[in-house]
Structure 1
Amino acid sequence: MYKRGGVWWTNVRYGDKRIQKSLETGDKKLARAIEAKIKIELAEGKFFDKPVGQNKTFKDMMEKFMKEHTPKVSVNTQKSYLVSSKHLLSYFNDSKLTAITPKMISDYKILRYNEGVKSSTINRERVLLSKAFNLAMKEWEWIKDNPVCKVPKEKENKRDRWLSEDEEKRLLENSPQWLRDIIIFDLHTGLRQDELLSLQWGRVNLFNKTIIIQETKSGKPRTIPLLETALTILTEKAKVRNLKNDLVFLSNAMTKIDCHNLIRALHTAMGKAGIQDLHFHDLRHTFATRLAQRGYDIGKISMLLGHYNISMTQRYTHHNIESLRDGMQVLEKSGYNLATVEENKNVSNV
């Protein structure tokens, strides 16, 4: 490996051929990584089979991804992508896609850790990175492999919080009416915060007792059946319906409720009720947990939550000791318990 004009070059032999190639970087450490990859490709016979995007940069990929893919996802996901992409671009930016290795991605993760970033944030950035590389590989045919696949996710401390019935009672008692309606409705539908605040009357069918959530995190609409509690709230809301914006849940100014105002109001109610460590998303968590505790099929819970697969739903489902005790009653009903064992012993000894 040698330097020419401030850029590192490699000079390697392949059979009876000598290959001279610019590594397109002035960073010696990065140049060695690229040279090592070239040697591996030569050994595997892949070097001369280059994809059409061999000159595409990371910046090219992210610009195309953000332009073509983000309109298909929810507003909140778009915001998340925008934040994550800024950090990724500041690191990879003009790097050639074909030069980005799993080690480079691991080094990026280490850098983010050193900046004090949480595992959950790093995992979100990894997800975005993987999605972009998958599109570049499968649809755009710019690259042959996704380097993110070889970089594991970080372990996260998952939240294990849902609302007890006593906490619900205290929270509702200390909430203003508009917040009380939102809390009750979410506990009976399991909507994400933005799904609830963006719900429009055009998606509500009071006759069929359903709502359709169109702008979802997964990009796929879902229909949620409504029971009497949720229907009662919608019936009352319909009396003050605003035809200008068609939103179901409105602020005092008859506009969309600001998410920051919602969280502030929730925290105020929590303080009055003596409740700690509760996020709005935990209401959705509570919805799923209560269904699971009552024996509702996890596949159906997954459909109601709009999850990609059941494994995503399992972390939302928990069982309290009484629900576990109820489930074990099947052992008593089977007729095989200590009492019947003792009776059988006595009979056999007669």
Structure 2
Amino acid sequence: MIESFINYLEYEKRSSPHTVLAYRKDLEQFQEFCELSFGLQDIQQAQHAEIRAWVIDLVEQGLSTTSVNRKIATLRSFYKFLLKSSILSKDPTYKLKSLKNPKKLPEFVQESTIASVLEESVFQPTFEGQRDRMVMEFLYLTGVRLSELTGLKWSDIHLGEESVKVLGKRKKERIIPLTKGLKQNIISYQKVFEERFSKAEQSPYFIVSNQGKQSYPVMIYRIVRQYLDLFAQTSKRSPHVLRHTFATHLLNKGADLNAVKDLLGHANLAATQVYTHNSLEKLKAVFEQAHPKA
């Protein structure tokens, strides 16, 4: 039934490849645990006791609360699917509780630091250097997700309209405006892109490897880490940190929360509100302007 569930995620729920892979791994790990610990060949037969034992085992292994809760969510989705398919009549996860997750504020890069990271002189004038510059600028100036960047094609970029069409989670499209500076740098990048690859070699993808192939997550992580290492003091140096930075800087400058939500492609406002905790500059400015004792 694992394969049926995976097909359901992929073709009906239209989950991202990353999500599908994570769910598959979680279920395979649980299946292995049930077989080794309880002799269960089929996780359809698992009850609350077996599921709880797996959660305890994961905690004892030292997995983070976030990772354990994600695996619990996987099991909940799987058994909900079995109920919906009339394969089970009772949900073995109904008494299962998620672990309490300590709240962590999203890390972001300070404005002065990101300005240094994006200095033109930091990047080599080669194709690789200009490609890396585009990766850093695009993540920070549009707030796109890693998967959205690697899937972006030249046909999605509309320079005349100064916008980019992004295919987000659950195949939802959104339009993000391009700054005039980013537009000019895209034109420059396109020039070195065309100089580097012949017509026959040119990929439809916007960000490509040195060989002209579609970019991939490890490659983007490597680029981001390389340039953030030069200036940033944040403990995390990932593409998502630049997305956090995009949202935080917008809110610091007084951007409307709903507008930021739409730019990020969040399904609800709660996901965006976490960034308001980082907007101390904006809060201080409001306080100093409005409070009579400030």
Normalised by the size of structure 2, how large is the TM-score? 0.80
Give the CA deviation at 1:194: 1.9
How big is each residue's C-alpha offset from its partner over 1:34-87, in whole Å with a ceiling of 9 and x where there is no partner? xxxxxxxxxxxxxxxxxxxxxxxxxx2x22111222242222222222322221
> In structure 1, the residue corresponding to 2:176 is in which secondary structure?
strand
The answer for the alignment partner of 1:194 in structure 2 is 147
Residue 47 of structure 2 is aligned to residue 100 of structure 1: yes
Give the CA deviation at 1:200: 0.4
Residue 286 of structure 2 is aligned to residue 327 of structure 1: yes
- In structure 2, relative to structure 1, the CA distance for the partners of 1:144 and 1:307 (3 Å cut) is farther
How big is each residue's C-alpha offset from its partner over 1:94-148, in whole Å with a ceiling of 9 and x where there is no partner? 34647522x432221111111222212112212222222222223x233345443
The answer for the alignment partner of 2:189 in structure 1 is 237
The answer for the alignment partner of 1:224 in structure 2 is 176
The answer for the alignment partner of 1:252 in structure 2 is 210
CA distance in 1, matches of 2:88, 2:15: 24
Aligned residue among 63, 71, 91 for 1:125: 71
Letter in 2 for 1:195: E
Q: Is the 8 A contact 1:251 1:257 kept in 2?
A: yes
Q: Is the 8 A contact 1:218 1:308 kept in 2?
A: no
Q: Is the 8 A contact 1:292 1:318 kept in 2?
A: no
Structure whose CA Rg is larger = 1
The answer for the alignment partner of 1:179 in structure 2 is 132
> In structure 1, the residue corresponding to 2:78 is in which secondary structure?
helix
CA distance in 2, matches of 1:63, 1:213: 29
- In structure 2, relative to structure 1, the CA distance for the partners of 1:222 and 1:130 (3 Å cut) is farther
> In structure 2, the residue corresponding to 1:69 is in which secondary structure?
helix
- In structure 2, relative to structure 1, the CA distance for the partners of 1:210 and 1:266 (3 Å cut) is closer
The answer for the alignment partner of 1:212 in structure 2 is 165
How big is each residue's C-alpha offset from its partner over 1:238-286, in whole Å with a ceiling of 9 and x where there is no partner? 3335764311122332222343233333333333336342222100011
The answer for the alignment partner of 1:37 in structure 2 is none
Q: Is the 8 A contact 1:211 1:224 kept in 2?
A: yes
Q: Is the 8 A contact 2:9 2:20 kept in 1?
A: no
> In structure 1, the residue corresponding to 2:142 is in which secondary structure?
coil
Specify every segment of 5 or more residues in structure 1 that has no aligned partner in the other structure, as ranges: 1-59, 340-350
CA distance in 2, matches of 1:154, 1:181: 39
CA distance in 2, matches of 1:125, 1:263: 24
RCO (CA 8 Å, sep 6+): is it higher in 1 or 2?
A: 2
CA distance in 1, matches of 2:115, 2:251: 21
Query: Which has more helix, going by share of residues?
Result: 2
CA distance in 2, matches of 1:319, 1:186: 19
Give the CA deviation at 1:330: 5.6
The answer for the alignment partner of 2:126 in structure 1 is none
The answer for the alignment partner of 1:142 in structure 2 is 87
Q: Is the 8 A contact 2:163 2:177 kept in 1?
A: yes
Aligned residue among 8, 19, 24 for 1:77: 19
CA distance in 1, matches of 2:82, 2:159: 44
The answer for the alignment partner of 2:37 in structure 1 is none
Aligned Cα root-mean-square deviation (Å): 2.7
Residue 115 of structure 2 is aligned to residue 163 of structure 1: no
How big is each residue's C-alpha offset from its partner over 1:309-338, in whole Å with a ceiling of 9 and x where there is no partner? 221222234344431122225635xxxx36
Letter in 2 for 1:185: F
Q: Is the 8 A contact 2:244 2:275 kept in 1?
A: yes
> In structure 1, the residue corresponding to 2:175 is in which secondary structure?
strand
Aligned length: 272
Give the CA deviation at 1:156: 3.2
Letter in 2 for 1:67: N
The answer for the alignment partner of 1:50 in structure 2 is none
CA distance in 2, matches of 1:286, 1:204: 22
CA distance in 2, matches of 1:172, 1:184: 7
